[in-house]
Chains A and B, each alone.
Chain A
Amino acid sequence: MTPALEARGLRREFGHVRALDGADFDVDPGEVVALIGDNGAGKSTLVKALSGSLAVDSGELLSDGKPVTIDTPTAARALGIETVYQDLALAPHLDPVQNMYLGREVMKAGLMGRLGFMDHAEMKEHTRTAFTDLGATVRDFAAPVGSMSGGQRQQIAVARAAAWASRVIFLDEPTAALGVVQTRNVLDLIRRVRDRGIAVVFISHSMPHVIEVADRIQVLRLGRRVATYDAKKTSMEELVGAMTGAISQEAA
């Protein structure tokens, strides 16, 4: 199968720090890939590079086998790639609907739309649907997101990405601030999104969640991919071994 998104030999340095040191990565359509690694292994940098938030120094990106340049978030979105960032990237003073549609507002038909007026009813309705799909506990659609709990904010960010993704969705620690029920909802959502044929990339420190929901697990260490495992055939010990460098699968 052609990977929905593939990266080859990505490099990126921050001063003397090599955040990505020839990192490879691939994810197929309709597959959940978990990206794991110790702190500083380059997981977030890799996600930023793949979602257009960060320029790489060198390396290739392929979408459906075709070389692509993803140098801006807009370019990533044009390819159907959506991301839930670790910092959620929400505007705290805007309400959930406004955040959901930030950068993609639905405009009114005709002249009013051309003058910059938005279709609030339409946006609110779709936001409600997206939240219901996720089982989100956000109820006040007019309150600023900044006044909500960390869990609610995370749900908003996840719901936004899930609603817009058509090819690939990146989730950087999507369950970090969530309670038991919401975590379950996010994991269910990941499966549902995958069943739509979308490639899901999931970063987490929670090994049980990773093993539960992922189809494949790719391990990053010191800025490169050191191992890929089938989630059904691996164990916690093996994963931790790869993360710490005790096991190495791919040659340097």
Chain B
Amino acid sequence: MTTVTGRQQAAGPAPADEERPKTPLQRLLGAQAVQILGVLLILVILFSIAEPDAFLSVNNIRNIVVNVSILAIIGVAMTFVIVTGGIDLSVGSVLVFSGVVAAKTMEKLGGEGVGVAVIGALVACGAGILWGLFNGVLIAKAKVPPLIVTLGALGMALGGAQIITGGIDVRGAPTVLTDNIGFGRLFGQIPYLSLIALVVVVLGAVLLHRTRFGRYTYAVGSNDEAARRAGVRVDRHLILIYTLAGFCAGLAGILNLAFFASTTIAGQSNTALNVIAGVVIGGTSLFGGIGTIAGTVVGLFIPAVLQNGFVIMGVQPFWQQVVVGAFLIAAVYVDQVRRASAARGASSRRPLSSRFSRPAGARRKETQ
């Protein structure tokens, strides 16, 4: 049958056995996330050969993991956002805003103690949630494209943080926060910061891949009109997703404060783009409907490992940006090729490629 041969061509090196449905594990193995894991392993091996002592030391690996931790928390939420076919550019600014509001609150409350730290954390998460709600409502209800809404929120949150602080970083955080969350380690080895990130990653993965909420996230990104007709409350779902992104940015804000003991107002201008790059390198499609949390984690490790490796090898760290940029383009190229061959494999009445050659914003308009 023509359809069968077409599909096997599309599947490429891993021909699908039609009679036997693939297990979740097999599906995972076919994913871009796993191929990119191979790339990461190659990088690690190369750097290990080049600088075995420095690169493979426990301290260095811990360093890399810590560097990825805060980005990973935002990356989890960004994966949800991008799977819906959206984007959130505001996460870096929301991180700063949440950190600033939390720092100011904790300062007012006396600046020390567990209670103050807990209130600070709640304030940071709350501020993030409010920004997420703001984004979500405008995107889902007012139908303003996510790119524009979150670009606006990027400016507003950063500006807001600067208004509150007069543009000068708030320095210092409760010692319980910096000593335990910022630099504390479980058994003297595992940073609490990374443990928190791990919990968020695991919860995010379960939510996206195993629950109905996750299923709807893919459905909305895949075909929002079909989801709507199937009775999925698409608007409400989008609002929840952007609120989740805000919450994660807020959580990242308090962790960032704990780690740097500063609100790093000027230091987060590239955070959103770095996270988006990691998510996309990890195989999540900017056009929605495809993506995994595991891929995002791997995708975030690649820039971190490159940067670290280059520094150790004495290569100018600026090269990291060049290489990551190339990775990003390559990842999207692979994604496109895969889609094109998938669309050719199916004798489609409405070719999929026609949907993917346009930006997500245009698609949104088209379906109305």
The one of B225, B227, B288, B342 that contacts A147, using a Cβ cutoff of 8 Å: B342
CB-CB under 8 A from B316, the residues of chain A are none
Q: B229, A147: Cβ atoms under 8 Å?
A: no
> A142 and B346 in contact (CB under 8 A), knowing A91-B227, A93-B289, A103-B230?
no
Q: Is the CB of A139 within 8 A of B213?
A: no
- Segment among A36-44, A111-119, A203-211, A231-239 that sits at the interface with chain B: A111-119
Q: Is the CB of B3 within 8 A of A148?
A: yes
Contacting residues of chain B (181-230) with chain A, CB-CB under 8 angstroms: 207, 210-213, 215, 218-219, 221-223, 225-230
Seen from chain B, the residues whose Cβ lies within 8 Å of a Cβ on chain A are 3, 6-7, 10, 16, 18-19, 21-23, 27, 207, 210-213, 215, 218-219, 221-223, 225-232, 288-290, 342-343, 345-350, 352
With A91-B227, A148-B3 known as contacts, the answer to whether A142 contacts B219 (CB < 8 A) is no
The answer to whether A116 touches B21, judged by C-beta atoms less than 8 angstroms apart, is no
Cβ-based interface call for A104 (8 A) = yes
Say yes or no: is A92 at the interface (Cβ < 8 Å to chain B).
Answer: yes
Contact A89 B347 (CB under 8 A): no
A98 interfacial contact with B, CB 8 Å: yes
Residues of B within 8 A of A87 (CB): 350
Q: Once bound together, how far apart are the Cα atoms of A65 and B201, in whole Å?
A: 54
State whether B16 touches A143 (Cβ < 8 A): yes
- With A53-B229, A89-B226, A142-B22: A116-B218 Cβ-Cβ less than 8 Å: no
Are B21 and A140 in contact, with the CB atoms below 8 A? yes
What are 28 inter-chain pairs, A to B, with CB distance below 8 A? Answer: A85-B229, A88-B226, A89-B230, A91-B222, A92-B223, A92-B352, A93-B289, A93-B290, A102-B230, A102-B232, A103-B231, A103-B232, A107-B212, A116-B211, A118-B212, A139-B18, A140-B18, A142-B21, A143-B16, A143-B21, A147-B342, A147-B345, A149-B346, A150-B346, A150-B347, A150-B349, A151-B3, A177-B349
Is A105 located at the chain interface by the 8 A CB criterion? yes
Instruction: Give Cα A149–Cα B6 distance, bound, in whole angstroms.
Output: 9
Nearest CB of chain B from residue A160's CB, rounded to whole Å: 9
Which residues of A sit under 8 angstroms from B225, Cβ to Cβ? 89
Bound state CA distance, A151 and B81, in angstroms? 32
A94 within 8 Å of B (CB atoms): yes
A149, B8: Cα distance in complex, Å: 12
- Residues of A near B289 (CB, < 8 A) are 91-93
Select which of A89, A141, A142, A177 is within 8 A of B223 by beta carbon.
A89
Contact residues in A for B211 (Cβ distance below 8 Å): 115-118
Residues of A within 8 A of B3 (CB): 148-149, 151-152
Q: Which 9 A-B pairs have the closest CB atoms?
A: A93-B289, A103-B230, A116-B211, A103-B231, A91-B222, A93-B222, A89-B226, A149-B3, A102-B230
Residue numbers in A under 8 Å from B349 (CB-CB): 150, 176-177
Decide: A91 and B212 in contact? CB cutoff 8 A.
no
Partner of A73, one of B7, B16, B19, B228: B228
Add 6 more A-B contacts to A91-B289, A105-B212, A146-B222 (CB < 8 A). Answer: A91-B222, A98-B215, A102-B230, A104-B230, A116-B213, A142-B27
Q: Is the CB of B219 within 8 A of A146?
A: no
Q: Is A90 an interface residue (CB 8 A)?
A: yes
Contact B19 A147 (CB under 8 A): no
Could you give, for residues 112-152 of chain A, a 1 whenever the CB lies within 8 Å of some chain B CB and a 0 otherwise? Answer: 00011110000000000000000000011111001111111
Complex CA gap A132/B21 in Å reads 16
User: Which of B7, B221, B228, B348 interacts with A93 by CB under 8 Å?
Assistant: B221
Complex Cα spacing A13 to B83, Å? 35
Chain A nearest CB from B249 CB (Å) reads 23
Closest residue of chain A to B231 (Cβ to Cβ) is: A103
CA distance in complex: A139, B213 (Å): 26
| Interface residues as binary, A69-91 with B (CB distance below 8 Å gives 1, 0 otherwise) | 00001100100000101011111
Name the B residues within 8 Å of A98 (CB-CB). 215, 218-219
Residues of chain A within 8 A of B19, CB atoms compared: 139
Give A153 Cβ to nearest chain B Cβ, in Å: 8
**Chain A residue at smallest Cβ distance from B352:** A146
Residues of B within 8 A of A85 (CB): 229
Q: Give the complex CA separation of A48 and B294 in angstroms.
A: 40
Given known pairs A91-B289, A118-B212, the reply for A104 and B218 (CB within 8 Å) is: no
For residue A141, which residues in chain B have a CB less than 8 angstroms away from its CB?
21
Give every chain B residue within 8 A of A150 (Cβ-Cβ): 346-349
Who on chain B is nearest to A73 by CB?
B229
Verify A91–B226 contact, CB threshold 8 A.
yes
Q: How far is it, in angstroms, between the C-alpha of A115 and the C-alpha of B211 when the chains are bound?
A: 8
Contacts of A149 in B (CB 8 A): 3, 6, 346-348
Enumerate chain B residues within 8 angstroms of A77, measured Cβ to Cβ.
Answer: 231
Q: Give Cα A71–Cα B343 distance, bound, in whole angstroms.
A: 34
* A90, B226: Cα distance in complex, Å: 6
Shortest CB-to-CB span from B302 to chain A, Å, is 24
Q: How far is the CA of A77 from the CA of B230 in the complex (A)?
A: 9
- In the complex, the answer to whether A116 meets B212 with C-beta atoms within 8 Å is yes
Residues of B within 8 A of A105 (CB): 212, 215
